[in-house]
């Protein structure tokens, strides 16, 4: 009887490790597909904020469109209208508008 108990206990311990492997695989997959891309995106956003300079057009997370007038250590001064300037935290700048390229008129060729 004691030999049977020892064998059953040994078998139970082995299956404990076997049942942890799927859990670990789930965590690795979740990290690879969810956490890692989010961290990469945050780094890209941070680099974009650091590259902003006065004169760039921006959109804040509050929905204000404006033009950067001043870049400070922790904030931006954004001009939202003539002589109307607001101080905005750097983390509140949602995106920077790219300047539009001049439009070229396409010539249609009739054949």
CATH of the domain at 92: 2.30.30
**pTM across the whole model:** 0.56
pLDDT per residue as tens digits for the range 45-69: 889 888 889 989 999 888 889 999 9
Radius of gyration of the chain (CA): 29
Identify whether residues 57 and 12 lie together within a single domain.
no
Q: Which domain holds residue 61?
A: 52-99
Cα separation of 51 and 10, whole Å? 60
Does 110 reside within a domain?
A: no
Q: Which pLDDT score is estimated for 88?
A: 93
pLDDT band at 97 (very low <50, low <70, confident <90, very high): low
Please state, rounded to an integer, the average pLDDT across all residues of the chain: 80
Beta bridge partners, 68, equal 78
Beta bridge partners, 89, equal 75
Span 102-111, average pLDDT: 55
Cα separation of 78 and 70, whole Å? 7
User: Domain boundary residue among 11, 34, 51?
Assistant: 51
């Amino acid at each position: 009887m004691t030999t049977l108990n020892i064998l059953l206990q040994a078998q139970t311990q082995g299956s404990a490790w076997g049942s942890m492997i799927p859990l670990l695989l789930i965590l690795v997959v979740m990290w690879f597909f969810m956490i890692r891309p989010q961290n990469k995106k945050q780094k890209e956003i941070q680099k974009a904020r650091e590259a902003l300079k006065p004169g760039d057009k921006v959109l804040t997370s509050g929905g204000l469109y404006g033009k950067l007038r001043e870049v400070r250590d922790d904030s931006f001064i954004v001009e939202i209208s003539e002589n109307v300037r607001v101080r905005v935290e750097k983390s509140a700048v949602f995106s920077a508008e790219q300047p539009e390229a001049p439009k070229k008129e396409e010539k249609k060729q009739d054949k």
